[in-house]
Amino acid sequence: MNRTEILFGLKNNPAISVLIVGGGINGIGTFRDLALNGLDVLLVDRADFCSGASAASSHMAHGGIRYLENGEFRLVREAVAERNRMIQNAPHLVRPLPTTIPIFKIFSGLFNAPLKFMRLLDKPSERGSVVIKIGLMVYDAFTARSRAQKTVPPHKFRSRADSLSLWSKLNPQIINTATYFDGAILSPERLALELILDAEADNPNARALNYMSLTGADKDAVLLRDELTETVYEVKPRLVINAAGPWVDFTNHSLGLSTRFIGGTKGSHLVLNHPELRAAIGENEFFFENKDGRIVLIYPLYDRVLIGTSDLPIENPDQASCTDEEVDYFIEMVARVFPSIKVTRQDIVFRFSGVRPLPYTHVKTAGQISRDHSIEVVSGDWTGLSFPVYSLVGGKWTSFRAFSEQVVDKTLAFLGRTRQKHTRDLAIGGGRGYPHMPDDIKRSVDGIAAWTGVPAERVQVLFDRYGTRTDQVATFISRGADAPLKSLPSYSRREIGFLTQHEKIVHLDDLLLRRSMLAMLGRLTQDNVEELADALSESLNWPGKRKKLEVSRALEILADRHSVRL
């Protein structure tokens, strides 16, 4: 169902069971689960899907080893299980990630850890080999079941000599390194989009609209404004799920509710084009404490390097940006672990920043705020609304499925329905029937090439992007005259046409930032932005000056939010 058909349906029948406000990963996960269980559900976002907090992640599916020190064992147990499910259910986009901790001290933090656990200490301190070893032993206990399933292996400690033989550029002042496994989310935005497409394919009464704002509410109705046409639509839900992330309280205010559920913190990242640093880390993420106790990372993102992240309190999530002070901090952080490698601002190809939707609380340091999730219910006569509002507080990429399951169980109970299906072992998008062995992948690629006529080399490129959805993409490509883009030959005009027709692209920046990794990986030039706009214009039948406006809009977003100037 396309956008026009969805809007026509809403105009003619505004009654819906569930309205989800917010197209980040928590809203999308809930949408997919409700759709699977047969609910008529509408998901809206004021911008594109996965363009807010969920687009500013560290690209990790992690079990939350650092939450052990805060005593959040339930959260760690849940996160480890969900990390494993993501690796199994979306193998085309989530893969095991060897994560290495460089350790500079032996006994440091030995007494701080139990004091923090008992809430008697809030000051960060650098952890030494003993504390990290204990933590990883406990973490391995949580991951024991996953090892039986061969999802990830146990941790491994290495001596200074062994560490330096593996990573020659590593700071020779280290005492040890420790390596354990988490998960790498190669493209979070594509994972979110595929969840939406799965939901709509499973249930024709599940509909998702981007660029649709909530503007107000009155008794039994919610007002939604189409950001493209400014047309206002009235919907009448039995329940509203506020999944607006760091904007939860702002959304409640639009509904006429006064809440203070969110006390978010800002996290920023840089993407570097730095071949020497990329070669130095290999396929390992380096995950460690900086001198100030802040957990930071150096992460292999395709042929680039992702570094981050900050953890700074912020009042208005719309004002989140990566500051020059944060850039200085990240560059100095790299120098601590790889002192012989020089990183400068000229190596930065992309910046991004977002706000974690953490619960509002009174603590002295951001690291003390729980990363757990909860559902805050607002209902009753005093609200003036005939429907309850479930506000989703907290949550993170790794545990989105578990959080969504809890929200859906509560929703089904309210609506008097029973759960029919679970998402625990449900493959996602291009992860369905995904072949794991190289020979099986080659057979799949060769088979798609044989029946579509698309060359095997081209099918392999598509398979790396879309997993088993490649058969759909290649079939679409084969049904018309195609040609590679002159300025970006790894993409073709028919491939762009498929994305446009099947992946809810509205603006050029949807393609550059979220349906592809082109912007984040620093692949954009003025020429290929113009050529991609041409391809979209042809597929979407943009009138007159629309293409020029879209290019201007995209370039402005890239410059203002990501410091990308072409």
For residues 270 and 257, membership in a common domain is answered with no
> pLDDT for 367-376, tens place per residue?
556 678 899 9
Question: Which residue range is the domain that position 446 belongs to?
Answer: 436-562
Residue 429 falls inside a structural domain: no
Q: Are residues 352 and 375 in the same domain?
A: no
> What is the residue-averaged pLDDT of the chain?
92
Total domains in the chain come to 3
For residues 141 and 269, state if they share a domain: yes
pLDDT confidence of residue 77: 87
In a domain, 424, yes or no: no
Percent of all residues in the chain with a pLDDT value above 90, rounded to a whole number = 80
Q: Would you say residue 491 lies in a domain? A: yes
| 449 and 312 share one domain | no
Burial class (CB in 10 A: 0-12, 13-18, 19+), 338: buried
Structure tokens at 339: 């002192």
pTM over 0.75: yes
Please indicate, yes or no, if residue 215 is contained in any of the structural domains: yes
How distant, in Å, are the alpha carbons of 217, 454, 464, 481, 485 from that of 492?
A: 44, 12, 15, 10, 5
Shared-domain flag, residues 19 and 112: no
In CATH, what number is assigned to the domain containing residue 168? 3.30.9.10
CA distance 393 to 370: 11
Beta bridge partners of 308: 269, 297
- Same domain? For 451 and 529 the reply is yes
pLDDT score for 564: 97
431 assigned to some structural domain: no
* Tens digit of each residue's pLDDT (9 = 90 or more) over 117-143: 444 445 555 677 888 888 888 888 877
Look at residue 448 and tell me if it is in a domain. Answer: yes
Same domain, residue pair 178 and 152:
yes
- Same-domain status, 164 and 274: yes
Asked if the structure places residue 427 within a domain, the reply is no
Domain check: are 225 and 305 in the same one? no
Same-domain check for residues 477 and 551: yes
The pLDDT of residue 117 is: 46
Within-domain flag for 339:
yes
253 and 272 in a single domain? The answer is no
Residue 537: give its domain's CATH number.
1.10.8.870
Given 362, 393, 427, the domain boundary residue is 362
Look at residues 140, 137, 172, 179 and name the one whose alpha carbon lies nearest to residue 158: 179
Look up the CATH number of the domain holding residue 21: 3.50.50.60
Would you say residue 344 has pLDDT above 90? Answer: yes
Instruction: Tell me, yes or no, whether 547 and 453 share the same domain.
Output: yes
Distance, in Å, from the CA atom of 168 to the CA atom of 281, rounded to the nearest integer, reads 10
- Residue-wise pLDDT tens digits, 292-322: 878 899 999 999 999 999 988 898 999 999 9
